């Protein structure tokens, strides 16, 4: 009975969520400062690496030649204990080189007031848009094990160099394990809607897991103000 009560309560508290990213706006890595001093700078140099300069950590330089994937870079940041980092609108397995928007990164505030540093995807260089459906896009301590996410619909528009099979994808993320659960044909320069059972169904992750929706292209994705990937889901 307890399990049934939990399931009913969780379903009753479910909330619809809509997320949208465009040119250079997916957040590949989100960081927050957990040190005790001050931050001088957080800077990405495309093709070289990430450099964090703080009063308590000094200069922490993470080269893409050493940390060759997004996941390896996040793990190295966390190991130093000056910033806490998480992979967000990306995959751990993606290459770090030519992945991120170049330049200095300033702090921004989440809706709950948390101060974060967002390392964004350079969508024309990395050649993809992505958005993560998760119970926790910040660092507020939500225990994902008690939550589930569902994808109901995705809408996208982008000028692709070569629309192709398996270029619209959905991955289920279980910790560091990334499993592709959907791969479909992409469409270029046309607003395209992907849903399930004519919009009445949904694609669900297992308890505590995330879903990452990806539109990618092996040739090119042109920059443009009209570019979008909009994801409609449910968190419960």
User: Could you give the C-alpha distances from 216 to 90, 159, 213, in angstroms and in order?
Assistant: 11, 11, 10
Buried b or exposed e, range 205-236, using 16+ CB within 10 angstroms: beebbbbbbbbbbeeebeeeeebbbbbbbbbb
pLDDT at residue number 147: 83
Assess contact for 138 and 217: CB atoms under 8 A: no
| Interatomic CA distance for residues 96 and 118, integer angstroms | 15
pLDDT 10s digits, 2-25: 454 444 434 534 578 899 999 999
Top-confidence residue, 222 or 143: 222
With a cut of 80, say whether residue 206 has pLDDT above it: yes
With a cut of 60, say whether residue 55 has pLDDT above it: yes
pLDDT at residue number 14: 59
* Average pLDDT of the chain to the nearest whole number: 92
């Amino acid at each position: 009975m307890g399990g049934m009560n939990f399931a009913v309560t969780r379903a009753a508290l479910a909330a619809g969520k809509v997320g949208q990213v465009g040119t250079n706006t997916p957040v590949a890595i989100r960081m927050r400062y957990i040190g005790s001093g001050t931050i001088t700078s957080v800077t990405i140099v495309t093709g070289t690496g990430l450099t964090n300069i703080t009063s308590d950590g000094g200069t922490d330089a993470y080269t893409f030649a050493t940390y060759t994937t997004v996941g390896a870079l996040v793990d190295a940041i966390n190991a130093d204990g000056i910033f806490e980092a998480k992979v967000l609108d990306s995959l751990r397995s993606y290459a770090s080189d030519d992945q991120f928007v170049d330049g200095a990164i300033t702090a921004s505030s989440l809706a709950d007031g948390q101060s974060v540093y967002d390392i964004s995807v350079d969508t024309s260089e990395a050649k993809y848009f992505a958005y993560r459906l998760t119970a926790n896009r910040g660092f507020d301590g939500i225990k994902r094990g008690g939550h589930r996410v569902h994808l109901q619909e995705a809408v996208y528009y982008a000028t692709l160099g070569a629309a192709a099979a398996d270029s619209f994808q959905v991955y289920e993320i279980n910790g560091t394990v990334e499993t592709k659960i959907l791969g479909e044909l992409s469409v270029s320069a046309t607003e395209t809607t992907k849903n399930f059972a004519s919009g009445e169904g949904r694609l669900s992750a297992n308890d505590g897991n995330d879903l990452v929706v990806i539109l990618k292209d092996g040739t090119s994705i042109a920059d443009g103000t009209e570019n979008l990937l909009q994801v409609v889901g449910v968190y419960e």
